[in-house]
Every structure is written in C-alpha cells, then in structure tokens.
Structure 1
Amino acid sequence: MILLICMAVFRKRRLTVIWMFALLLLEIVALNLLIAFNGAASNPFSAVLLIPVVMACVWLPHSAAVAVVGLSIAAQWTQWQFTQFDASHAMLAHAQGMLLGFTITSVLIMTVVFYLRHRLNQQEHQLQALREKQLRNEQLLAIGTAAAQLTHELATPTQAAQWLLEEALEKTQPTPDWLNDLSQQFSRIQNKLEHWRHVTDDVRHQRTVSINALALATEIQHVMQLARPEVAISWRVERQLESVNINADRTLLPALSNVIVNACDAQKQISDAPVVVSIMTQQNGFCIEVRNAGHSDNLNQLGQRLMQSDEGHGAGAVISNATLEKFGGTLRWTHANNEVVTWITLPLSS
C-alpha cells in the first residue's frame, strides 16, 4: 500500500529500484507488526501480506524480488516464534500450517510471475526484431527502387551513346584505338544493364536455379580479380564442392562478392597481408570463411541495420545479409586474434 501511495503521489517521476525495495520492506515490517499484535495467524486478514510479494515480483529485478520474498517469509516465521509460547498446541499447529501455506504460496507466486515476465521479455524481443527487420526491408526496398530507376534511366542514354559510337566507327577510317576501346566499354555497360534487368526479373518472379558450388566459387574468384586486383587474396577451395549444389538466383553472386570486397577494403587500409578466403562444405552446408585485419566495432549490428560511419552506412552488408536470409543462409561477423572473421553459410539443395 505504501508503495502504491508513493507511486500515486510521485506519478510524474519513476521511483528507483532502491526506493521501491525500501518501501516494500517498510510495508512488510509494518504489516507483520500489525498482524502479529492482532491475532497473528488467527487474523483472517493475514493474506494481505502476499500483496508486497506480488508487487516485488512484478516491479523489482529478480535478485531484489527474491530478497523481498525471503524477508517476507522470514518475518512470518518470526511471528510464529513470537506466538508459540502463549498459545495452545492446536493454535500452534494452525499457525504453523498457515506459515507453511504462506511460504509455498509466496514461492509459487514468485515462480509464476518470473515465468510470465520471461515470456513477456521474449515476446518483446521478438517484436523488436520484427520491427528492425521491417525497417531494414523498407530501407532495402528504397535502395532497390532507386537502383531500378537508375538502371532504367541509364538504359536510354547508354543506347544512344552506343549508336553514336557505331556511327563514328563507320565514318572514321582508319578507326583509332581509343574509339574501339570506348566502344568496348559501352558494350560492357550495356551487358551489365541487361544482366541487372534479368536479376530484377528473377527477384520479381522469385525464380531460383540449382547452382554448382564449385562453379560458384570459381565465379567469385573471377569477380574478385576484376573488382579488387590490387589486394592479395589467399583462396582455399575444397574440391568436394564439385558434387554439391545450392538453390539461389542471380543475386547470390553479388551478395557474396560484396562481402569479400568489404573485407579487402578493410584489409587494404591496415595491412598488405593477403585476405584469406576459405570455401568449403561443413555440416551439410556451403560455407565461406573470410579473414581480414580490422576492428571489432559494431560487429554485432553489422548487416542488421544501416549505420553511420567514416567508411559508409553499411548498406552493402545489409543487402548481402538480406539476400542470404532469403535463401535460408546466415551471415555473421566475429573478432579473434586481431582479425575480423566473416562466416557465411548456405543450405545445400536436396
């Protein structure tokens, strides 16, 4: 009652745990003294002593709540010691039964309330994870929409530039080398745009194909030779990959390559040592382990949400993580022996 009165008086301010603990102890002492001098166990209102126990289990941390329950039980048994000298044998047996019932009831209430609090915390964490996932999906949708719009807008001027180059090639004889090189580069741009249109179409229709794991590893090595030729990479590829396959679409290769590119960029800023990439099968799964020098700040949040930093916002890690989750895979980072270890897993197709 005392705690409820204080909370009503100071409703604009939240009481600290220490204050709530002290007020509950005061209430336990006051109620036990009041009951002890008014019939003790024979008092029909002795059940009111369970109220501080319930309030402690609901509002206090577990350790403080256990302390309140223990002190409340100890106070009740002190009443029995106080009344056993001047009461009959039947009354003492009744008092002892009441105290045993109070002890069992208090422990049961504490157990049930703690279990309910645990379940509520689990549901709250699940809701928080769903909210974060929804926010991440909204961010990815915005990024994907912008990328698709940019691809669409680039298609027309690129095609126009290609026509101009073809006309220049026909009218310029002999054709200079720089014009041939420029035409080849525009052809590569057109091929890339066409590839991304196919990727968008696969994602829209949720089409997946069976990809050979060894062929995927070879493609990753080829992409990294083009993307980061200045960074040394030590490849460790198992030959057993030739006999296993993965169900995915065309977004898998960019997602995996982006993770290794980020590791190469981090390594380049710190050391000239090679990045170690191991591609293997483990526990019925396709696994990629990437080891590079780097720091361990925010590794637990990397890939989960966009983060502001000097290197960027981590959008690539978020997109790669979402892509791997779509295929039932996982992406996580750990720090060990002054190295950042990136661990990618994907289920094998049956």
Structure 2
Amino acid sequence: MIAFSPNSAIGRLLLLRTIAIIVQLLMVLAGSLFFYKDVNLLPLLFVIALESVFQLASVYVYRHTHEAAPMGMLLQLLADIIFLTILLSLSGGASNAFVSLLLLPIVVGAVTIPRHFVLVIALSAITSYGYLFWHVPSDHIHHMDMTQHFFGMLINFVFSVLVIVFVVMALAKQLQQREKKLAQIRETQLKNEQLLALGAAAAQATHQLATPIATLTLLLEEVEEAYPEYPAWHDIGDVLSQCKKQLDGFRTQTEYLKQSPSQKAIAIGDVLSELSTLATMQYSAQLVVVDADNEADLVLTDPMLIPALLNIVANAARANELASKHEIGIYSFSKNRQWHLSIVDQGLGIEPHKLAKLGHDMVPSEHGLGMALVLSNATLERLEGKMTIENNPSQGATTRVVLPLTQTKL
C-alpha cells in the first residue's frame, strides 16, 4: 500500500518524474531515429535507466509516508537537476532546446519547500546551466558564431530563475496564508455551531427544570406548614432558592444574547469584588485570596464576563476539593495595556495531554466534559481576550486570562 496521494507534494513530484522519464525515453529514441542518427544512445539510455531506478527507490522509501519532509523534497529536486544536467550534457549542453527544463525543479520547490531550500535549488540550477554553457560542444559554438546567442540564453535563464523564486514564492505564501485564514474561519464556524448546540440544550434543560423547581417550592411550603419542627426545611429552602436564582440568571443571560451585545467599561476592582463575593457564597469552604494592584484600571465587559470567570473559579474549587485543599488565589495586574488575571488552585494538576484542549474542545473526564471552560473561553474571545491553562511547578494549575484595557468609560 502507498500512503501518499497524487494530491500531496511528494505524490505530484513522483508523478511528474514518471511522466518526464517516459517523455525523455521517447524523445531520445525519436531523436536518434529521425533527427540525430549519429547520437550515442547507450550513455543516454543508461542515465534514463539510472533515473528510473532512483524513481522506483523513491516510491519504495515514501510508500508509507503521507507527505515528505522539506529536506526529503530538497534531495528529490536536487536529484532531478543532476539527472537532467547529465542528460543535457550528453545531448548538446546549453545548446539543447530543452535546457529550460531546469526551471521546473525551481517551480516545484517554490510551492512545496521553505524559502532557504528554494534558494539552494535555484543556485543549483544556475550552476548546472553554467556548467552546460561552458561545456557546449565547440562545433555548436562556432557554427554561425552562436557565442552571443548562448550567452544571452544564460542571462535569460538567470533572469527566469529570479522571477520564479521571488514571484512564485510570493504567490505560494499568499495562498498558504489564505488557506490558513480559511481554516481558522472553518474552525471558528464549527466552534460557534457547537456552542449554539450547547446553548440550545442548556435552554431546553432550563425550561424543563423550571416547572419541577416551582413544584418543589410549593410542596416544601406545604410540608413545612405540616411539620414546622423539622430543622432541615430552612436549608432545603435555601438550596431551592439558589436553584431558582440560577435559572433566573440564565434567562437574563439568554435574553441579553438575543439582543445586540453591548459592552461597557468597568473598573477591575468592581469585577474582582463581585467575583470574590460570588465565589465565597457558592464555595464557602474555600478561602478566596485576591491580590490586585490595578483596581482603578478599566476593562470592557458585558454581563457574560463574571459568569465566565466564575466558571474558572468553580473549576479551581473542584480541583481543591479533590486534593483536600482550601485556598484559591486570584492575582491581577496590568501590563502593556492589558489586564492579566491569574486564578491559581492547589489541586492535583491537569494531565498534560488535556491541557492544550481545555477551553477549546470537549475533554471527557470523571467530572464532566470541560463545557464550562469552553463557554468561558468563547466569552473571553468575544471580548478580544484569551485564556491559557498550565500546571504549576509544585502543585495545582493556573488559569491565565488576558483582556484589553480601555481608557474611556462607555
């Protein structure tokens, strides 16, 4: 089985070389039979046979490779230049009408390998042409005084090489950048579709939970009237009130997202104060330590920022509970007109293979799918920010949030 396809760079190169070998053989045979009957066929056929063996060896070496490395492509193209140079030197040198075929490896290299490798190919082709120029048979040069013509061909070849190297490489770079942008757009679109599906599922779950919670509240009131001495009624009522408050908050956020999202500037101190208060209320067993030296700075925010940051704190609290730790650090500072926020837990850390995916993709684990971090990251990206997660050297993990600062209140 051959792994590479005709659409890959190595696949195209090997296919092109196969066609070139067939054309070379036909041209050599036709030339010896109809045009240059005195040509020595044996050396030419030997070079073509050697090139065919190299082609078969290349197919064998790359049979399990989807795409060749840049160094491999460089060696393949250099081999093409060498074989072509030998064939041309045995059939007239620079006077051969097919000497311009030395440009083909440069064209292929310009769109498949890095720039410094393309320069190696270009210099090799120019050197090859120079060798062929200086070894043109004397009878070809003196016939009708063709010296100036061949010298002009050399200058034209060098100029063609320069044009190919700079123009084709520039066009190839533009295409690569465009493909990269299209890939990013497709990735963003898929991510947005995934978030939309999550939002629809969450809205449906909220709608379905609203009625049972309201029913439980009424039943609690009736049972509390019937058995007022039971001490747990107050705690149950607090839990149901918290559930109702969360549902109301979700409805508010949903209504906000239905409208055109609006942003406003708010002091970082106000954001940290609200975040600390909510974290302390929801995770009373955790000690939330806030260290900030930029409370007066302003940051653009919307109603979704606090829930996004609270999701990160919730992950930190869960990590601490698993490790029997009780402190969450929130550190804030400003640098280069950006707000840097670090949320540090003392948990067991995160498995290395999951770090790169957290916040970008669903990451299945014993405690969920990482959906909260995906939603938090989506909110931060909408606010032109970013989020990264890394393990601490000693213990736990740190989630870093970066958001742009603003100077004007909106």
- State whether residues 2 and 27 of structure 1, in contact with CA within 8 Å, keep that contact through their aligned partners in structure 2: no
Cα distance change of structure 1 residues 232 and 325 upon mapping to structure 2, 3 Å threshold: same
- State whether residues 132 and 305 of structure 1, in contact with CA within 8 Å, keep that contact through their aligned partners in structure 2: no
1:201 offset after TM fit, Å? 0.9
Match of 1:134 in 2: 189
Q: Quick one: which of 79, 85, 102 aligns to 1:49?
A: 102
Cα distance change of structure 1 residues 71 and 3 upon mapping to structure 2, 3 Å threshold: farther
Q: Any unmatched runs of 5+ in structure 2?
A: 1-12, 23-55
Take 1:243 and 1:79, find their aligned partners in 2: how far apart are those partners? Answer: 70
Q: Which one scores higher on RCO, CA 8 angstroms, separation ≥ 6?
A: 1
Cα distance change of structure 1 residues 27 and 189 upon mapping to structure 2, 3 Å threshold: closer
1:304 offset after TM fit, Å? 1.7
Work out the number of aligned pairs and report it.
346
2:339 is paired with a residue whose SS is strand
Take 1:326 and 1:22, find their aligned partners in 2: how far apart are those partners? Answer: 46
- State whether residues 234 and 277 of structure 1, in contact with CA within 8 Å, keep that contact through their aligned partners in structure 2: yes
1:2 offset after TM fit, Å? 8.0
Match of 1:6 in 2: 18
Match of 1:176 in 2: 230
Match of 1:152 in 2: 207
Cα distance change of structure 1 residues 327 and 61 upon mapping to structure 2, 3 Å threshold: closer
1:33 offset after TM fit, Å? 4.1
TM norm structure 1: 0.81
Match of 2:385 in 1: 329
Structure 2 residue identity aligned to 1:4: L
Match of 2:161 in 1: 106
Take 1:57 and 1:116, find their aligned partners in 2: how far apart are those partners? Answer: 9
Cα distance change of structure 1 residues 243 and 269 upon mapping to structure 2, 3 Å threshold: same
Structure 1 residue identity aligned to 2:108: M
Take 1:209 and 1:298, find their aligned partners in 2: how far apart are those partners? Answer: 32
1:116 offset after TM fit, Å? 2.5
2:270 maps to 1:258: no
Match of 1:161 in 2: 216
Match of 2:400 in 1: 343
Q: Quick one: which of 28, 32, 37 aligns to 2:85?
A: 32
Take 1:328 and 1:42, find their aligned partners in 2: how far apart are those partners? Answer: 62
2:164 is paired with a residue whose SS is helix
Match of 1:118 in 2: 173
- State whether residues 41 and 94 of structure 1, in contact with CA within 8 Å, keep that contact through their aligned partners in structure 2: no
- State whether residues 247 and 348 of structure 1, in contact with CA within 8 Å, keep that contact through their aligned partners in structure 2: no
Structure 2 residue identity aligned to 1:191: K
Q: Quick one: which of 131, 139, 159 aligns to 1:78?
A: 131
Take 2:73 and 2:343, find their aligned partners in 1: how far apart are those partners? Answer: 51
Identity among equivalent positions (%) equals: 29
2:280 maps to 1:225: yes
Q: Any unmatched runs of 5+ in structure 1?
A: none
Take 1:7 and 1:264, find their aligned partners in 2: how far apart are those partners? Answer: 65
Cα distance change of structure 1 residues 130 and 243 upon mapping to structure 2, 3 Å threshold: closer
* CA offset digits 1:240-293 (Å, max 9, x no partner): 4246353312x2211101112223434555684844321233333433122346
1:91 offset after TM fit, Å? 4.2
2:150 is paired with a residue whose SS is helix
1:83 is paired with a residue whose SS is coil
TM norm structure 2: 0.71
Which shifted more, 148-157 or 55-64? 55-64
1:171 offset after TM fit, Å? 4.6
Which shifted more, 158-167 or 58-67? 58-67
CA RMSD across the alignment: 3.6
